[in-house]
Structure 1
Amino acid sequence: MKKLIYLVVAALMLASCNDFLETENLTQKNSGNFPVNETDATQMITAIYATMNIAVQKGVNKTYFYIAQVASDDCYGGGGENDKDAQASDHIMYNGASLFADFWSARYQGINRANMALANLNNVADEKIRNQKKGEALFLRSYFYFELTQMFENIPLISVAPENVSAAQKAPVQMPADSIYAHIASDLKQAVEIMPDYKWNEVASGTATRWAAEALLARVYLFYTGFYQKDALPLIDGTKLDKNYVITKLNDCITNSGHSLASDFRSLWPYTNSVTKKNSTYQKGAPTWLKDGENPEQVFALKFCYQSAWVSEKLGFSNQYALYFGIRDQSTDYGLNGTYPIGQGWGQGPVAANLWNDWKTEEPNDTIRREGSIYQVKDNFQYGRDAQMEETGLWQSKIVATRAIVGDKDYPSFCSTSDYYGDGTSLGNFQVSSSQDLTLIRFADVLLMQSELMGTADGMNKVRARVGLPAVNYSLDALKRERRFELAFEGLRWGDIRRWHDAETALAKQVGQTIWNKGLETTMKDQGAGYVARYKATRGFFPIPKTEIDLSNGTLKQNPGWDASANFSSWNN
């Protein structure tokens, strides 16, 4: 029986924000006549990429990347007094039993589209095109499963497209983590072995490549073997992938991809764009920001564009992470007019002071990275802005809106496509104007993973040399510090402290730090059972949405630690 292929292809970005897919009725296409060429295959694969933006559209605070930011020891939840989801996630608690339902749905939507693509891509006659598109589908499916299992651990496994309606209606079985990782590893192994060796700049920006698959394989290996204390990754055929295989593939990425470190750390972040005036200490002397498609360090990224608006179907076009993590209420009334060039946002993810203090103590000469990653507003900061919670006076400056003053206009956020700052209408709306990429895999991370896997300092010292730091001998402690500082606020710290089994110690250090809640000075206090107790109870996994458990008629079992005692009702002063 031929499988009808229904593609809901939003005008979301694969190559660039200007190259949208033409609207076409695809409901008459089936596995006998679609896909057959590169255009068909691209349409099918773009539908998978689109689900990444759908997850953003449904709510950044429901995604794994966001949780990895605020649950780590380097950020708090923050936001306004009403942003209880943020504060709850920071304290490993919940404010609503089905908060993550949209994220769950978007990721399985992507998995189902990947399954359909993999079932039909053999129709494409050109072997090189077929292998590239197959590899992209395998990479995306493994990326989605990796996020899901890091967040929820034991999840349903759907690895094939349904043959008929009856098969589609059958509830999938919740599988143990080992089975999920076996599928992730098998997908990535196949992807790295079939994908062509296009250089990074020979494919459209945002496209998954062989190099991205090799890097993700290393990330998966490090988390699985570290967190579960295993010596290899399982495969679905019963064999295993050992460290040597992962190192070989990572070395292939480093040697043959064409990826490299950008010459200046600061040019990786939009505050060095060509329009913003270079008037802050961490901008002076920095080269211009490396825009979409120009960055040799960007191994894989989620794409955004300037075609967004404050309506639900278009929110996913803009980088909503930049909105969530921007500084709240930058009006003159609140004394934050001096935060230029960091743009306005919703005040979530304020930086924990212990990161800044540890950084100055452990790497005192690392000024370029420290001040190029964290923006201090303490000198001109008036505590008491619009019910801001868990304030520290420190904000990250990597994934935030960037402001620009052009003539007599102050634009609260910029559009990355052409360094254009809007016309005072839709592009001047700080809530939808940020269109910079969200980099998910960076070459610096590849080099640091190489050092960790091989137990050598070569990759780590290349990263250090870029910011003028001296070479060091390899040790795991040195590697841990390097990852914390180089990759701060890039969604990796949470996974790192979990796989190193450092989470309890790291989270405990947040307690007692000075914060401001609604303008009142206080200290960070444990909420509910407390950081350490909550981590012990949950092992860092979050609750499976109650709506999904209900739909499964109880087949899905809730994760430990997520009973009524985990409910966050309000901040306990």
Structure 2
Amino acid sequence: MKRIIYFISIVTILSLVSCDDFLDTKSYNEKELTNFPETVDDINQMLTGAYASMNVDILSGFYLAELASDDRFGGGGEGDKFMHAIDRLMNVGTDMCGGLWWGRYRGIQRVNLLFENIDRVKAWKNEQQKNQIIGEALYLRAMFYFELAQVYGEVPLMLTTEALNLPKSPANEVYAQIASDLKNAIGMMGTDKYNPEMAGHATKWSAEALMARVFLFYTGYYKKDALSLVEGGSVTKAEVINWLNDCIENSGHGLIIDNTNPGNGFYNLWPYSNEYTAIDYQWAKDKKVKWVGDGNEETVFAIKFNNFGSWDQTGYTNMHATHFGIRTPNGNTSTFPFGEGYGAGTVNPQLVEYWKTAEPNDIRLWGSIIDVENDLPDFQWGADLQMEETGYVQKKYLAITAYDHTDGGSEFLTSYSPLMYNTPRAPVELASTQDLVLIRFADVLLMHSELTQTAAGINKVRDRAGLTGIGAYTLDALKKERRLELAFEGVRWYDLMRWGDAPTALARQGDVMVRNMAGDPVQMASYGGGWVARYAATGGFWPIPGTQIARSAGVLVQNEGWGTTEAEYRGW
């Protein structure tokens, strides 16, 4: 059973570090902490507060990457201009990406507060217990800064809770801090193998995997051959490969394999194969799929969710699933088991055509994408003024419905979660408990292949998908495998950035015909000079929130390519 995380509301901690902006003048070293923390439980509550900051804003690095990539469009309805703007590397208002900035700096401040107070706790079971908490906190700070750096480029480095008005730090300094935090985390956290009871917590293995992702992005985008460290020296490719070897050989993580039904291991990763839905979903019954659940051995690190939130706390629910769901009146019994949502991130048909040509026998295609014409006979085009509609919907992260057959009934539910976890029934916006998997073991194998320039990792992933091996390694083969295996998992955009492939990939989007809200075919429209021009102007980075720049009194400077007429999206 999924381990539902109940986020603890710690009034003292949250009152100290939940302000909307790190430029506030309040000191974080005041005496409110005179009696807190004192115990290991106290420090664990502080760590929980840092984890909870991941569940803040829908405009995460994952969400931005999905809508910006060449494999998806903005979608949504006529009024969802921010979705269309993200797809085009444009802006709506001055604070479109403000929630991510505030949320991640809030998490960083919570980690910094933990570091400044952890030595007050004396009753540790042993030194490793303390080191594990420090290691997890270091991992979180590194992850928060990496997300900020991928989204905004250069950002201020806040390493204490002192209220400071800081300028942006150069990229090499930001990444040096990330690398140092991760290296220390790897050295401090325990070597216990994968355990589903620890799902949602950072581990040595997730730190090793994240280090590889950081290394690949930094060295690729900034054309470097190593990651500098704050303390001097650097992280080399050879070290990263050794860490990945350790993760692959010793973590207990692995690919989900279904030996009874070869190829089904991939299907079994996603909630559409859960037992409460699959019993009524003919495709799933035919394939004999069986969901392995959240926190499975292929999940190296994920954000956990529950459906105990409220309209004031929607971050506790996986709102990505809601945003990517199908617009009503679709999303009900007519499109079972694919549920209602906002219609964001319609799939670019160019991906489907590429997939069919490149890997015509790949079981992952229809395990990742819904073809509404063939899969959903009662699908309604243009529902609720859906825009940029293509007839293809991704099926990894969206609302999944179920029927409650208790006592012979057949009540339609907006989510399988109440049946699976005996949790409250909730409207679709508050119903999804699916993990948002940030690092999957398949990605670890593919990063290993890329760094070692060997085919072993690629071929393990292909074998699970029922495909033959590639023979000798090539970068083109690696790029194809990452695009198909990790489709709709928040990595494609950053891969395009680090490989230097974004301009070429984005240029193709203007050739696509989509349907507008009236159901009429129209050519995909570009603004602000077009996708390629916007990428050239911004380097793929997003605007620093305008309120942050205003409060800094000129200390913070806006990123290139923003604050201009070309950057403002005003609608189709």
Do they fold alike, i.e. is TM over 0.5?
Answer: yes
User: Aligned in 2, Cα 1:420/1:77: closer, same or farther, shift over 3 Å?
Assistant: farther
User: Aligned in 2, Cα 1:23/1:560: closer, same or farther, shift over 3 Å?
Assistant: closer
Deviation at 1:52, TM superposition (A): 0.8
User: Aligned in 2, Cα 1:157/1:267: closer, same or farther, shift over 3 Å?
Assistant: same
Deviation at 1:567, TM superposition (A): 0.6
Equivalent position of 1:3 in the other structure: none
Equivalent position of 2:139 in the other structure: 139
Deviation at 1:19, TM superposition (A): 4.9
Secondary structure at the residue paired with 1:418?
Answer: helix
- Which residues in structure 2 correspond to 1:396-407 (within 5 Å)? 396-406=394-404, 407=409
Equivalent position of 2:413 in the other structure: 411
Equivalent position of 1:89 in the other structure: 86
Contact 1:377 1:394 in 2 (8 A): yes
* d(CA) in 2 for partners of 1:130, 1:389: 51
Secondary structure at the residue paired with 1:284?
Answer: helix
Equivalent position of 2:23 in the other structure: none
Equivalent position of 2:267 in the other structure: 266
Deviation at 1:36, TM superposition (A): 5.0
Query: Residue by residue, what CA displacement relative to the aligned partner does 1:229-284 show, whole Å, maximum 9, x if unpaired?
Result: 11001111231111000111111111111001111111110001110135343663
One-letter code aligned to 1:78 = G
Equivalent position of 1:432 in the other structure: 430
* d(CA) in 2 for partners of 1:73, 1:283: 33
Contact 1:274 1:288 in 2 (8 A): yes
Residues 1:242 and 2:236 aligned together = yes
Deviation at 1:93, TM superposition (A): 0.6
- Which residues in structure 2 correspond to 1:194-213 (within 5 Å)? 194-201=188-195, 203-213=197-207
Secondary structure at the residue paired with 1:383?
Answer: coil
Equivalent position of 2:160 in the other structure: 160
Query: Residue by residue, what CA displacement relative to the aligned partner does 1:491-511 show, whole Å, maximum 9, x if unpaired?
Result: 000000110000011111111
One-letter code aligned to 1:363 = E
User: Aligned in 2, Cα 1:557/1:281: closer, same or farther, shift over 3 Å?
Assistant: same
Query: Residue by residue, what CA displacement relative to the aligned partner does 1:516-535 show, whole Å, maximum 9, x if unpaired?
Result: 01111112122221011111
Deviation at 1:119, TM superposition (A): 2.3
Equivalent position of 2:211 in the other structure: 217
* d(CA) in 2 for partners of 1:397, 1:19: 27
Deviation at 1:123, TM superposition (A): 4.0
Deviation at 1:50, TM superposition (A): 0.9
Contact 1:305 1:417 in 2 (8 A): no
* d(CA) in 2 for partners of 1:416, 1:221: 40
Residues 1:378 and 2:365 aligned together = no
Give me the CA root mean square deviation: 2.1
Equivalent position of 2:19 in the other structure: none
* d(CA) in 1 for partners of 2:197, 2:369: 33
Equivalent position of 1:515 in the other structure: 514
Deviation at 1:203, TM superposition (A): 5.0
Deviation at 1:408, TM superposition (A): 3.1
Residues 1:480 and 2:479 aligned together = yes
* d(CA) in 1 for partners of 2:543, 2:444: 31
Query: Residue by residue, what CA displacement relative to the aligned partner does 1:121-165 show, whole Å, maximum 9, x if unpaired?
Result: 234432111111001110000100001111111111111233xxx
Query: Residue by residue, what CA displacement relative to the aligned partner does 1:331-363 show, whole Å, maximum 9, x if unpaired?
Result: 49xxx8542211111000011101111001001
Contact 1:152 1:541 in 2 (8 A): yes
Greater displacement, 539-548 / 120-129: 120-129
* d(CA) in 1 for partners of 2:211, 2:287: 36
Deviation at 1:23, TM superposition (A): 6.5
Equivalent position of 2:221 in the other structure: 227
Contact 2:509 2:524 in 1 (8 A): yes
Secondary structure at the residue paired with 2:515?
Answer: strand
One-letter code aligned to 2:490 = G
Contact 1:404 1:421 in 2 (8 A): no
One-letter code aligned to 1:325 = F
Contact 1:107 1:144 in 2 (8 A): yes
Equivalent position of 1:357 in the other structure: 353
Deviation at 1:40, TM superposition (A): 2.2
Query: Residue by residue, what CA displacement relative to the aligned partner does 1:26-80 show, whole Å, maximum 9, x if unpaired?
Result: 7998777654543222111001001111x23xxx1x2211100000001100000
One-letter code aligned to 2:132 = Q
User: Aligned in 2, Cα 1:477/1:464: closer, same or farther, shift over 3 Å?
Assistant: same
Structure 1: which 5+ runs fail to align?
Answer: 1-14, 163-167
One-letter code aligned to 1:265 = F
One-letter code aligned to 2:236 = D
Equivalent position of 1:10 in the other structure: none
User: Aligned in 2, Cα 1:286/1:553: closer, same or farther, shift over 3 Å?
Assistant: farther
Equivalent position of 1:16 in the other structure: 3
Query: Residue by residue, what CA displacement relative to the aligned partner does 1:184-227 show, whole Å, maximum 9, x if unpaired?
Result: 00000100011111212075220010001000000000000001
Residues 1:72 and 2:69 aligned together = yes
Query: Residue by residue, what CA displacement relative to the aligned partner does 1:362-411 show, whole Å, maximum 9, x if unpaired?
Result: 01110x21101001112434433221111001001001110112333222
* d(CA) in 2 for partners of 1:482, 1:146: 24
Equivalent position of 1:7 in the other structure: none
User: Aligned in 2, Cα 1:231/1:547: closer, same or farther, shift over 3 Å?
Assistant: same
Equivalent position of 2:261 in the other structure: none
Greater displacement, 401-410 / 96-105: 401-410
User: Aligned in 2, Cα 1:47/1:382: closer, same or farther, shift over 3 Å?
Assistant: closer
Contact 1:224 1:233 in 2 (8 A): yes
Contact 1:414 1:435 in 2 (8 A): no
Contact 1:373 1:397 in 2 (8 A): yes
* d(CA) in 2 for partners of 1:151, 1:497: 14
* d(CA) in 2 for partners of 1:49, 1:540: 27
2:250 to 231, 247, 256: 256
User: Aligned in 2, Cα 1:25/1:235: closer, same or farther, shift over 3 Å?
Assistant: closer
Contact 2:74 2:346 in 1 (8 A): yes
* d(CA) in 2 for partners of 1:283, 1:181: 47
Equivalent position of 2:455 in the other structure: 457
Residues 1:569 and 2:570 aligned together = yes
- Which residues in structure 2 correspond to 1:467-506 (within 5 Å)? 467-473=465-471, 474-506=473-505
Equivalent position of 1:9 in the other structure: none
Query: Residue by residue, what CA displacement relative to the aligned partner does 1:505-564 show, whole Å, maximum 9, x if unpaired?
Result: 111111121200111111212222101111111110011110000000011111111112
Structure 2: which 5+ runs fail to align?
Answer: 16-29, 258-264
Contact 2:527 2:566 in 1 (8 A): no
* d(CA) in 2 for partners of 1:560, 1:543: 8
Contact 1:68 1:492 in 2 (8 A): yes
Normalised to the residue count of structure 2, the TM-score between the two structures is 0.89
User: Aligned in 2, Cα 1:199/1:416: closer, same or farther, shift over 3 Å?
Assistant: farther
* d(CA) in 1 for partners of 2:99, 2:134: 26
- Which residues in structure 2 correspond to 1:99-178 (within 5 Å)? 99-124=96-121, 125=124, 126-162=126-162, 168=163, 170-178=164-172
Deviation at 1:329, TM superposition (A): 1.2
- Which residues in structure 2 correspond to 1:299-448 (within 5 Å)? 299-309=300-310, 311-312=311-312, 314-331=313-330, 337-366=333-362, 368-379=363-374, 380=377, 381-406=379-404, 407-415=409-417, 418=420, 427-448=425-446
Residues 1:184 and 2:178 aligned together = yes
Contact 1:269 1:289 in 2 (8 A): yes
Normalised to the residue count of structure 1, the TM-score between the two structures is 0.89
Greater displacement, 339-348 / 542-551: 339-348
Secondary structure at the residue paired with 2:277?
Answer: coil
One-letter code aligned to 2:494 = G
Deviation at 1:317, TM superposition (A): 1.6
Secondary structure at the residue paired with 1:439?
Answer: strand
Contact 1:416 1:434 in 2 (8 A): no
* d(CA) in 1 for partners of 2:283, 2:200: 31
